[in-house]
């Protein structure tokens, strides 16, 4: 029956005389409204779903648990589905409210739809409840989100006890895919940012954040891979091409996550398998038939290729980075700012990352400029007011990139004014990031950005004079001291020593811009910093670096001696 026919039937039914017929028709009307909403868009879909929810609630006014438990359970299940669909079309607070109501409805349904009495109905509700819990977890705080995901996994596993491969192969495969999705969300929830340090015997040091998952979450990744592969054994390309492509995309994503936790040949193997899975998905997810899915998989492919390049060298790494850039640009053909602003901005960041690594001498200037353009584009959507952490993170990326641009400009012997402009913009970007990355809230991001700022300031000094140079020197010293407050000798002795040397340089240069007792004090502090660095970088272990530090120490000591005369 059509929606109009159900509505006409309700007019003829008297709720007081034929309550069960009236309630059944309300339930059927709600089903029809919900189904039509799935094939509608925008305001029309929203209106249909709202009417569907109203009709289900009306049916429940008659279909009570006490009098009609089976019908009550069925309608609670249907209501949960409609509320879940409503939540998908809503934002933030409203979405959270609707998801909470959806979960409540499914849990109510399971009070009647028990495994003992109605095993198939129970498994159906459990499968959908698992998806609702997983979605609600994304709208919840950390601890609550973790609890909801654990419940989602448990409910999914319970459904698989009924939905076996032998008896219900298609439902089994779909639930395996859902299990894989939830396990992946659990893994993401365990992720933490570790500060990774790179340094060498010449005194070079760089810090970057690397996302790691908790050790106890690694088995979850393996389970997710197994779940997706199991689903693909049933949902084949020949019979279910759309589902097959979706699962290949999911498999590619989890293999990429596995690779991030691996090293060497194992990471290389996993990334190669990830790329294969994404390319297989794209054979079905064409731009013509599934433009949004195609764009999503192109973005995922770009990420896998980018990571693959990081495990390659020479011409192969360059080729993979080029392929990564191509994939991101393809995604942006569909992910426009007007239609998909968040996805557009996220892909712009990915593109910027790949472009600045895809640098060869002949192309460096152009590629770095394109990378800066991509980051700045992302900042148009990731604003400080709406997404402060994303905004700060991209500001830090932009600052690092602009400093890199300045270095290439100097190598190419470009005009000093352009180098100075890039370094000034780099400093501005790092300062902006620090407006959000406060030490008490984001200690790792704070110290990394302080370190980047300190380096950029020292390089900017080369292009300044007089009062401006003195101001930058003072700020550089402050940034150096801030970094040393975190990079302690006990925890990171070599990093600490590098920063002591940097502090010594900044103090020595600062002393050179002033006179009198203050200059003497700064030279004295410079001597102290260099000597501290030499406690770690001993001449017999680090001859080259210690030689440089000893030279700087001698200059500061000589200047200090002149003041002491």
What does each of the 565 residues of the chain score in pLDDT, given as a tens digit? 678 888 888 887 778 778 888 989 899 999 999 999 998 988 999 999 999 999 999 999 999 999 999 999 999 999 999 999 999 999 889 999 999 999 999 999 999 999 999 999 999 999 999 999 999 999 999 899 999 999 999 999 999 999 999 999 999 999 999 999 999 999 998 877 666 665 554 555 556 666 778 888 889 999 999 999 999 999 999 999 999 999 999 999 999 999 998 999 999 999 999 999 999 999 999 999 999 999 999 999 999 999 999 999 989 999 999 999 999 999 999 999 999 999 999 999 999 999 998 666 567 888 999 999 999 999 999 999 999 999 999 999 999 999 999 988 776 555 678 888 999 999 999 999 999 999 999 998 999 999 999 989 988 888 888 888 888 888 989 999 999 998 899 988 998 999 999 999 999 988 888 888 898 999 999 999 999 999 999 999 998 889 999 999 999 999 888 877 6
Residue 17's CB is within 10 A of a number of other CB atoms, namely 8
458 vs 507: CA distance, rounded Å: 11
**Eight-state DSSP code of residue 487:** S
Query: Where are the alpha helices (H) located in 39-91, listed in sequence order?
Result: 42-60, 69-88
Query: Rounded to an integer, what distance in angstroms lies between the CA atom of residue 390 and that of residue 402?
Result: 18
Confidence at residue 198, expressed as pLDDT on a 0 to 100 scale: 58
Partner residues linked to 192 by β-bridges: 212
SS3 state at 145: helix
How confident is the model at residue 193, as a pLDDT? 65
pLDDT of residue 462: 83
Q: Which of 471, 478, 470, 434 is nearest to 454 (CA)?
A: 478
pTM: 0.87
Q: What is the pLDDT of residue 413?
A: 58
What's the per-residue H, E or C state across 348-396? HHHHHHHHHHCCCCCCHHHHHHHHHHHHHHHHCCCCCCCCHHHHHHHHH
pLDDT of residue 192: 74
């Amino acid at each position: 029956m059509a929606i109009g026919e159900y509505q006409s039937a309700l007019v003829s039914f008297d709720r007081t005389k034929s309550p069960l017929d009236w309630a059944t028709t309300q339930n059927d009307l709600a089903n029809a409204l919900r189904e039509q909403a799935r094939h509608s868009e925008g305001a029309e879909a929203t209106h249909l779903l709202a009417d569907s929810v109203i009709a289900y609630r009306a049916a429940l006014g008659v279909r009570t648990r006490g009098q009609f438990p089976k019908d009550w359970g069925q309608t609670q299940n249907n209501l949960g589905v409609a509320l879940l669909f409503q939540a998908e079309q809503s934002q933030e607070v409203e979405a959270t409210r609707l998801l909470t109501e959806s979960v409540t409805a499914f849990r109510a349904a399971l009070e009647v739809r028990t495994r003992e009495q109605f095993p198939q109905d129970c498994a159906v509700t459990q499968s959908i409840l698992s998806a609702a819990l997983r979605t609600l977890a994304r709208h919840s705080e950390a601890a609550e989100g973790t609890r909801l995901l654990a419940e989602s996994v448990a409910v999914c596993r319970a459904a698989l006890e009924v939905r076996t491969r032998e008896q219900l192969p298609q439902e089994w495969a779909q639930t395996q895919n859902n299990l894989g999705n939830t396990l992946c969300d659990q893994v993401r929830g365990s992720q933490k940012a570790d500060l990774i340090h790179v340094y060498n015997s010449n005194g070079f040091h760089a810090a970057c954040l690397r996302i790691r998952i908790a050790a106890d979450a690694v088995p979850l990744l393996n389970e997710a891979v197994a779940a997706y592969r199991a689903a693909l054994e049933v949902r084949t390309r020949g019979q279910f091409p759309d589902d097959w492509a979706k699962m290949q995309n999911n498999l590619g994503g989890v293999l990429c996550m596995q690779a991030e936790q691996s090293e060497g040949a194992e990471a290389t193997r996993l990334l190669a398998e990830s790329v294969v899975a994404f390319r297989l998905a794209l054979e079905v997810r064409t731009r013509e038939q599934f433009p949004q899915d195609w764009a999503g998989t192109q973005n995922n492919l770009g990420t896998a290729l980018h990571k693959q390049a990081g495990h390659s060298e020479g011409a192969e790494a360059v080729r993979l980075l080029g392929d990564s850039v191509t994939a991101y640009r393809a995604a942006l053909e569909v992910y426009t700012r007007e239609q998909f602003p968040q996805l557009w901005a996220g892909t712009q960041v990915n593109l910027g990352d790949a472009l600045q690594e895809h640098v060869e001498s002949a192309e460096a200037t152009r590629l770095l400029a394109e990378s800066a353009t991509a980051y700045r584009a992302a900042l148009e959507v990731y604003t400080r007011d709406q997404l402060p952490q994303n905004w700060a993170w991209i500001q830090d990326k932009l600052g690092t990139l602009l400093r890199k641009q300045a270095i290439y400009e100097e190598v190419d012997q470009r005009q000093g004014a352009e180098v100075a402009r890039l370094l000034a913009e780099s400093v501005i970007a790092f300062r902006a990031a620090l407006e959000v990355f406060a030490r008490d809230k984001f200690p790792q991001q704070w110290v990394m950005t302080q370190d980047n700022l300190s380096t950029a300031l020292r390089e900017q000094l080369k292009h300044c004079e007089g009062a401006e140079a003195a101001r930058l020197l003072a700020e550089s010293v402050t940034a150096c001291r801030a970094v040393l407050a975190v990079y302690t000798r006990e925890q990171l002795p070599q990093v600490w020593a590098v920063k002591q040397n940097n502090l010594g340089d900044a103090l020595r240069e600062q002393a050179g811009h002033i006179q009198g007792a203050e200059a003497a004090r700064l030279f004295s502090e410079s001597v102290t910093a260099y000597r501290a660095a030499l406690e770690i970088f001993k001449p017999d272990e680090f001859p080259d670096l210690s030689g440089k530090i000893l030279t700087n120490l001698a200059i500061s000591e000589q200047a200090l001696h002149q003041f002491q005369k």
